Structure 1
Amino acid sequence: MSIQAPSAVVLVRPHHFRPNPLTADDNVFQVIGAETESVRIAAAAYDEVTRAAAALEAAGIRVHLFDDESADRPDSVFPNNWMSTHPGGHVAIYPMYAVNRRGERRWDVIDMLKSDYRVQDVIDYSGLELDDVFLEGTGAIVLDHVSRIAYVARSHRADPIALERFCTNFGYEPMVFDAVDPSGVPIYHTNVMMGIATDFALVGLDLIHSPARRAQVVDRLTAHGRTIIDLEFDQVCDFAGNAIELHAPGGRILALSRRAAETLRPDQLAIIERSCTLMPLDIPTIELAGGSVRCMIAGIHLDRRPEVVAA
């Protein structure tokens, strides 16, 4: 079992999903105007999460599925931005950039973690929002749990003050870089251009502006034998980097969208399939909001509590 690949996840099924107008300015992956079909889009997103949860459970992943009935949280399908869990019983809660995303933080999710898993502490950084300091979870940070490195594309959603606190509290080394698209627009979340698995890493290397920093990122990612799968920008736009490795009873799987899977070349797929089984999930509606499968999944890197058997 790999420390990089959790075997349990949290998903949130939204009842009123729509692309968030408050995040459209810096999220170039978001489809503007889709909110005009709000009823159809909300129903389709609900169904996509339902099917994704069922597919993960059928593969042997433990899924904790929470429903969100609020009409005021259009991005609640992306819980990885407000929480993360870590080996040793640690949980982090993050400060969010968009005001209408801050209500996504749910204490019933934290209570479930405390009930079903061994939680030693919960460190809540959300108060930093009062000072306009933001760090949007494992959207802004891509974590290498093996090498203890936190990779971060610099943006206003990844403040260096919050990042330093997180890395100090959780024992990661920060690796910060500037990443921009071909038009010079900064990448809003690191996890749209980078996904780290046990034996490989999906990375849009050309988006890292500095050649020297790019080489350092490659050196650190490959230090423990990982293979780099270098993604072209078109593949990043199809969310090929927004994937997550999970541990199922039959072995490791790579969960990603069907759109992402279809954009990968045969040579890239061959690298992945040496250590993972691909699990493409159909989520075209959710991808209208500028995020994909990795954004939907909050991995649980905690030890389960033993089940109590009734006498």
Structure 2
Amino acid sequence: MVAPILKDTIPVVQNVSHTTNAVVMVPPIDFKFNVETSADNEFQQRLALPEQEIRKKALNEFYNMVSILQSHGVEVTVMDYSGDAYETPDAVFPNNWFSTSPDGDVFLFPMACENRRHEVRPACLKRNLEQQGFSVTDITPVSDLKHPNAFLESTGVMILDHAQGTIYAALSERCDKELLQKYVDLAGFHELIYFETKMASGASVYHTNVMMAVGEGFAVICDEIIEEFERRRVLATLKKTKEVISITEEQMGQFCGNILQLKNDKNEHLIAMSVSAYNAFTLEQKQTLRKHGQLIPIDVSTIETIGGGSVRCMLAENFLPKNV
């Protein structure tokens, strides 16, 4: 449904670029099957490999992805993410604990699983970004101390249409309605569209960004898992400004919804996705996507199989201003 928001009290996002040519990535130093997140992440699968071999494969995939993005003109900040007393098996998915804005704001978000909360390292993030020449003005937690069991896992659960000032979100244990509204107010978005989902298993999708992606002129969405009335609302809103590509639940399982439109240093559009997603899109769907950017398929098969997240989950967009 569309949340009621008093538009005259909320600053409307204007002249904001939807895409960025800078991202933050975190190496999968402690990567392994995360039992805690597997409770509601049906995309995770175990592999019969020793943990040491899994981490070696994951690190190879990670640094190959960094290299591919850099070769296409994307600025990548790799966080100096040294291990500590707590294992962080899902640290490779940093887009779940922070987001950035062109005003220099960094927002921090509460995550549902205890071992994922140890990923939140704002001082380390700030240091690494400033070393790359980015300006961090404020760091703002988006949380509710009165409701410690309310979670909002950043751009994992929120699909941000920066140009239109709209947020799309599938409600779940990891996506609290009240915190959604709080972020809308803090970040200056003026339309919030949230909805319920139901997969073939009967469960809700754990993160919106595995079922949905929004670019400047296109949207990919697994709309068949949205209840019919809400589905019509979501599609009608998207179609006002986007070319909509509907994917099946099977394609969603191959991470076709987990893609991200970026820019390169020449202001050309790219669309990053996994090889699995690329192979699962139909020829017609790929032709449509190519109208909106060069397709960049990247092999992250170990990470997406065991971690239950893919290329988009590995990319935290960096909209921060550069120091002059």
- Regarding TM over 0.5, the answer is yes
Equivalent residues in 2 for 1:216-295, closer than 5 Å = 216-224=233-241, 226-250=242-266, 251-287=268-304, 288-295=306-313
Q: For the residues of structure 2 that align with 1:156 and 1:292, how far apart are their CA atoms?
A: 20
Residues 38-60 of structure 1 deviation map (CA, whole Å, 9 limit, x = unaligned): 11111110111100001111111
Residue 5 (structure 1) aligned to one of 19, 26, 47: 19
Q: Structure 1 residue aligned with 2:50, among 27, 34, 37?
A: 37
Distance in 1 (CA, whole Å) between partners of 2:34 and 2:193 is 29
Residues 138 and 19 (structure 1), Cα distance of their counterparts in 2 relative to 1, 3 Å cut: same
> Counterparts of 1:40 and 1:197 in 2: how far apart (Å)?
36
Aligned to 1:95: 110
Residue aligned with 1:139, SS: helix
Quote the residue 2:7 is aligned against: none
User: Partner of 1:133 in structure 2?
Assistant: 150
User: Is the Cα contact below 8 Å between 1:97 and 1:157 reproduced in 2?
Assistant: yes
Asked whether the 8 Å contact 1:92–1:124 carries over to 2, the reply is: yes
Q: How many angstroms does 1:2 deviate by? A: 7.7
Residue aligning to 1:65: 78
State the identity as a percent.
33
- Structure 2 unpaired stretches of 5+: 1-14
> Residue 111 in 1 paired to residue 119 in 2?
no
Say if 2:137 is the partner of 1:120. yes
Q: Give the secondary-structure state (helix, strand or coil) at the position aligned to 2:309.
A: coil
- Where do 5+ consecutive residues of structure 1 fail to align? 307-311
Q: How big is the alpha-carbon RMSD for the aligned residues of Structure 1 and Structure 2?
A: 1.8
Summarize the Cα distance change of 1:61–1:128 in structure 2 as closer, same or farther, 3 Å threshold: farther
Choose 126-135 or 236-245, whichever is displaced more: 126-135
Report the count of equivalent residues. Answer: 303
| Deviation of the 1:127 alpha carbon | 6.3
1:129 to partner: Cα distance = 9.2
Q: Is the 1:197–1:245 contact (alpha carbons within 8 Å) kept by the matching residues of 2?
A: yes
Tell me the CA shift for residue 222 of structure 1: 2.0
Of 63, 77, 80, the residue aligned with 1:50 is: 63
- Paired letter, 2:219: A
1:198 aligned residue (211, 216, 228)? 216
1:186 counterpart = 2:204: yes
8 Å contact 1:153–1:178 — kept in the other structure?
A: yes
Q: For 2:64, what is the secondary structure of its paired residue? A: helix
Whether contact under 8 Å (2:95, 2:314) holds in the other structure is yes
- Quote the Cα distance in structure 2 between the aligned partners of 1:37 and 1:293: 23
**Displacement over 4 Å in runs of 4+:** 126-130
The SS at the match of 2:39 is coil
Equivalent residues of 1:204, 1:241 under 8 A apart: yes
TM normalised by structure 1 equals 0.93
Change (3 A) 1:35 1:176: farther
Evaluate the alpha carbon distance shift between residue 281 and residue 67 of structure 1 in structure 2; reply closer, same or farther with a 3 A threshold: farther
Asked if 1:22 is matched to 2:40, the reply is no
